[in-house]
Amino acid sequence: MSGALLFGEVSWFDAVTGKTPVFHGIWPAVVGTLTLVLFSTIIAMPIGIATAIYLAEFASKRWASLMGTVVDMLAGVPSIVMGLWGFALILFLRKTLLPDANTCLFLASICIALLILPYVIRTTQNALSSIPQETRLIGPGLGLTETQNLLYILLPQASRGILSGMILAMGRAAEDTAVIMLTGAVSRAGLPGGLGDKFEALPFKIYILTSEYRDISELEMGYGCALILLIMTAGLFLVATLVQRKLEVKWNR
């Protein structure tokens, strides 16, 4: 563990600001992983929470059961299959609408979002379904509309479960390798310049270094990547937990 592990022979300032490319350190993989987690969570959270609210509060029992089966099937899809779906999507777009379509950070974020979507839906749905009936009657008793009751009573009460699902989804997004290796991750892409670029990621870096290392230094770098990934995941969990506590205090006032 040292600065050389992250930045190689480049100064940390030049590496962080992007003035000098880093090809002998894992800084681009760290940035790529954080960017992937951020965008996949941004895509999955609104869709997942909205779907869970509909299933828990508005859907009929038959429709909720059918959609629940679909969500469970999506949760059981192996990550390699999701990666193949993303790759097949690119091939389809090349032959139809976008001849220049290619694997990229945006495609990987979409595939990861689909992979973590069931976690968000199920945790939010369970959190809403577990709210006692007497709590549900508080809003109507005060004259609130159904929407107001949802916003001001039910969602704050279910906040712990919703944010727990977000934390679980972020951890799942950070560690997956099979999806990203088929949808845009490469070993020496540098810092991603945009959502349409190739990118590096720590799980893929670990896979490459530990399976194709040429000397002991590359193997040691792979172990360093694994440790950095664990630290980064723990940091994401810590930040999400602090946000969760802050929001709970705010909503429960």
**Per-residue confidence band for 252, with pLDDT thresholds at 50, 70 and 90:** low
Query: Would you call 153 helix, strand, or coil by DSSP?
Result: helix
Domain that holds residue 207: 26-251
Q: What are residue 185's DSSP bridge partners?
A: 199
Model confidence at 253: pLDDT above 70: no
Model confidence at 248: pLDDT above 70: no
- 21, part of any domain: no
Which tens digits make up the pLDDT trace of 146-168? 888 888 888 888 887 888 888 88
Q: Compare 219 and 243 and report the one with higher pLDDT.
A: 219
Give the residue ranges of DSSP H helices in 76-197: 79-95, 105-129, 133-136, 138-141, 146-149, 155-157, 159-175, 178-183
Q: Taking the model in full, what pTM does it have?
A: 0.86
Number of folded domains in the chain?
Answer: 1
Which tens digits make up the pLDDT trace of 180-239? 888 888 877 778 888 888 888 888 888 888 887 788 888 888 888 899 888 888 887 787
- 119, part of any domain: yes
> Are the beta carbons of 40 and 195 closer than 8 angstroms?
no
- 8, part of any domain: no
- 32, part of any domain: yes
- 10, part of any domain: no
Which tens digits make up the pLDDT trace of 48-106? 999 999 998 888 888 888 998 999 898 888 888 999 999 999 999 888 888 888 888 99
What is the pLDDT, as a whole number, of residue 17? 78
- 193, part of any domain: yes
**Sequence-separated (6 or more) residues with CB below 8 Å from residue 119:** 48, 75, 165, 168, 169, 172
- 16, part of any domain: no
- 14, part of any domain: no
Query: What CATH number corresponds to the domain at position 211?
Result: 1.10.3720.10
